Amino acid sequence: MRILELHIRGQVRGGKNNMGVTRQGFHYPKPEFIKWRNDVMGQLGAQIPQQFKPVDSIDLKWYFEYTPEDRRRRDLPAILDAVFHCFERAHIVEDDCLIKNVEFVNYAPDKVNAGLLIQVSDKEN
């Protein structure tokens, strides 16, 4: 049974290359990432059902269909890290460490239809 379906429109930014580090070792997001994250938070917030409770179980299947905007090389772990970060901030998951069973499909670039489709369902399906 599908529990949730979300769409993130536009190019997904990876978190790894959009972080800075101070001389004291403090990690901070760069302005471009903050702008992207805020946009994604708005997109996700508009799609979350009214009575939705944050995911608090590892017994779910997470399916991602990714369409990049261009042919630049993308770092899959960085993309997932950034998206998981947004899920946690948007209260879609209690903790992003709960996202365990992941399937990721990458499609050909499409400037007009770039984005990420996320489907969350029970493991049985």
Q: Give the CATH number of the domain where residue 54 resides.
A: 3.30.1330.70
Q: How many residues does the chain have?
A: 125
Owning domain of residue 21: 2-122
pLDDT at residue 10 above 60? yes
pTM of the model as a whole: 0.87
Q: Please tell me the total count of domains within the chain.
A: 1
For residue 49, which phi and psi values (nearest 5 degrees)? -60, 150
pLDDT tens, position by position, 56-74 = 888 999 999 999 999 988 8
Are 72 and 113 in contact, with CB atoms under 8 Å apart?
Answer: no
Rounded to whole angstroms, how far apart are CA atoms 31 and 121?
34
